[in-house]
């Protein structure tokens, strides 16, 4: 065990780096196993399931169902005392013409100088011939983020670096995927924050997408943040060895992955550090009527959720103080 702990400390020390704005980033505080067990004990799987069910409905941009999901996310976070704002804009899109989008931007401490940003998209793709409720794409990531805010509500103390959630609107194409017909919300938000000089406040952006299939795996899609992705791999291994995870099957694999177009691209193009947690192989139900809550594998979601939770708490330097 001493050898493992020594390696982790050396590894953390090596993670300090200078970002595009010449500010030293990422000085984590590693969690010990007692702290990991405590944080794992904060899980609320019933709440997670209920949240997935509330979001996994047909929610095409500019529909009543889409507005209802948006209001649910906003109210959920406001009830937890987060500061929530809407980034509203209108663009002309295929099929529907002029369409109004609403990015949801939530900050646990809006006065922080730096943010660890977690993001996903909350819209569902339009299909003419069937109702697409998009449970894995991406109701589950939305629910995971909300569930995290609830589980950690007493742990997220105010500090110089804080947690920020962005629920992007209009990730899906209305017609055929193209550079112009896709990523509406992330393109607008990245450009807006660049103009306002706020992009440098995003210390790291972790994007979640296509989560919920039983066989999901994540690979190292972005070379520039390989050391950070490796920490996910290590955390999963530690949780598994400690018996905290129910399954021994590794989900985070330190192997080169093939990155794909997603809401992180407008940020990568502006030199924001990104980790892209997307299924290495798309779920069989992707973009079909079978992408429903009933086909979601909750033990898998719980495993991803626990690893992500530990990473977030380390990144924010919020290791819980436990009395002996």
Residues classed as catalytic: 171, 209
Q: Which of 46, 29, 34, 49 is CA-nearest to residue 1?
A: 34
262 within 8 A of 187, measured Cβ to Cβ: no
Strand boundaries in 171-250, DSSP class E: 202-209, 218-220
For CA atoms 192, 196, 199, 202, the dihedral sign is negative
Asked if 218 and 252 touch (Cβ cutoff 8 Å), the reply is: yes
DSSP lists the bridge partners of residue 208 as 277
Torsional sign, CA 127, 91, 180, 259: negative
Q: Can you read off the two tokens belonging to residue 279?
A: 């299924």
SS (H, E, C) 8-57: HHHHHHHCCEECCCCCEECCCCCCCHHHHHHHHCCCCHHHHHHHHHHHCC
Give start and end residues of each alpha helix (H) in 132-218. 140-151, 184-195
Whole-number Å distance between alpha carbons of 175 and 320:
47
Tokens representing residue 89 in the block? 């804009």
């Amino acid at each position: 065990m001493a050898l493992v702990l020594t390696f982790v400390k050396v590894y953390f020390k090596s993670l300090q780096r200078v970002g595009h704005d010449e500010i030293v980033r990422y000085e984590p505080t590693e969690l010990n196993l007692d702290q990991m067990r405590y944080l794992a004990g904060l899980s609320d799987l019933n709440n997670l399931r209920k949240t997935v069910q509330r979001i996994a409905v047909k929610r095409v941009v500019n529909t009543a169902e889409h507005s209802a999901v948006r209001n649910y996310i906003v109210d959920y976070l406001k009830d937890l005392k987060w500061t929530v704002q809407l980034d509203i804009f209108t663009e002309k899109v295929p099929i529907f013409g002029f369409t109004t989008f609403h990015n949801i931007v939530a900050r646990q401490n809006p006065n922080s100088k730096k943010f660890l940003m977690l993001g996903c998209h909350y819209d569902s793709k339009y299909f003419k011939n069937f109702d697409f409720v998009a449970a894995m794409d991406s109701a589950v990531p939305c629910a995971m983020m909300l569930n995290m805010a609830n589980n950690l509500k007493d742990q997220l103390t105010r500090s110089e670096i804080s947690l920020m959630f962005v629920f992007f609107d209009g990730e899906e194409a209305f017609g055929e995927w193209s550079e112009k017909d896709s990523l509406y919300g992330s393109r607008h938000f990245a450009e807006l924050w660049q103009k306002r000089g706020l992009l440098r406040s995003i210390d790291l952006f972790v994007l979640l997408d296509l989560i919920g299939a039983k066989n999901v795996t994540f690979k190292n899609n972005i070379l520039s943040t390989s050391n950070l992705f490796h920490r996910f791999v290590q955390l999963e291994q530690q949780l598994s060895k400690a018996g905290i995870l129910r399954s021994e099957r590794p989900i985070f694999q330190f192997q080169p992955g093939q990155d794909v177009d997603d809401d992180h691209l407008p940020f990568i193009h502006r030199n924001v550090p990104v980790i892209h947690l997307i299924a290495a192989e798309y779920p069989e139900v992707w973009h079909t009527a079978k992408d429903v809550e009933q086909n979601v594998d909750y033990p898998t979601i719980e495993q991803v959720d626990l690893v992500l939770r530990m990473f977030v708490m380390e990144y924010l330097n919020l290791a819980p103080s436990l009395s002996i």
